[in-house]
Amino acid sequence: MNRYWSGLLVAVALAVILSCHHNPPNYPTGAIELHYYAQGPWPVTSSESPTPCDSLGNKCVFFYPSNLGANGFLHPILTWGNGSFGTPKQAEYFLRHMASWGFVIVASKDPMTGPGQTILDAAKYMVAANSDSTSPFFHKLNINQVGSFGHSQGATGAVNALLKSGGLIKTVLPIEIPAQIYGNSTNFFNPASLTGSIFFVDGSADFVSPPLQGNGVTGLQSIDAYYQAVPNSVTKVKGTLIGPSHNDLGGQPDCSQAPFPCVNGVYGYLGYPTAWFMDRLQGDTYAHGAFVNPTGEMFTETTNWEYVASNVP
């Protein structure tokens, strides 16, 4: 083989190798986001509640560290809200990722979580499990550190769960929360009543959860409108992922198994949402550095994030 063909084959081989190792969409460009984008240190197990976990008679799915309570660690609780007609299975990659960072995730199978009651019921179910000597979660949970999160209708439900919780739920992460024009008015909430902390996340291609309010538009019809309506006494952050649409969170991790519309997959939702709960519920000062206004890392990651705002000191 002459030198020309030998060199050409090497070049082609190198191109193939490089193409097989390219980063997925929304790959982090900041050290903090990249840290929490990776799988956490806890192996993860899933199971289902033996009895109904909420007031509508639904069972719950759990995602939790396999070695519960290792070295005396008490796991914070995260209660999940499905999107409309959704199931915990549709968000499994995302929920397992959260559990790998030491959280116990409880997800009611309720497909219509907007009122927030079943999301709250699931959190209370876990609090009770912590005192039940027959439960695998017996004395393994930090019942003083509870967060709620959800997607689409479940994002509204996660906020409602916090509002109804009487202080049990400390922080909430609504992902792709619908503009009020798409919602059921019985599920609406008053942002002025919020306590604790909140982190709004949406995708730039999501018309159901647009990042910015149009001129002359009334009501809470954008992430920015929700954010602005939350009082400054509440710790709050917002950010829009560049690229994703309404159902990218259902990526496993890419869009091949996600419902339409999905553009990039779940990748961009792994890092900062995990960091948020690590900061809020595990006191992780490294994670906190992502959100500080105006110097936090999230403000500088303009490859993947836009319309970032925060009042975090």
Q: Could you give the CA distance from residue 201 to residue 102 in angstroms, rounded to a whole number? A: 22
Q: Is 103 exposed, middle or buried (0-12, 13-18, 19+ CB in 10 A)?
A: buried
Q: 201-216 pLDDT, tens per residue?
A: 999 999 999 999 988 8
DSSP 3-state assignment of 61? strand
Is pLDDT at 238 greater than 80 in this prediction? yes
pLDDT tens readout for residues 38-59: 999 999 999 999 999 999 999 9
- Compute the average pLDDT of residues 132-140: 98
Domain boundaries 41-310, corresponding CATH code? 3.40.50.1820
Confidence at 183, pLDDT banded by 50, 70, 90:
confident
Mean pLDDT, the chain, whole residue set: 93
Residue 240 has pLDDT above 50, yes or no: yes
- Quick: pLDDT tens for 194-203: 999 999 999 9
CA dihedral 215, 218, 220, 224 (to 10 degrees): 20
Domain map (residue ranges) of the chain:
41-310
Nearest partner of 84 among 113, 53, 54, 119, judged by Cα: 113
Residue in the block written with tokens 């116990």: 104
Which pLDDT tens digit goes with each residue over 9-33?
A: 333 333 333 334 589 999 999 999 9
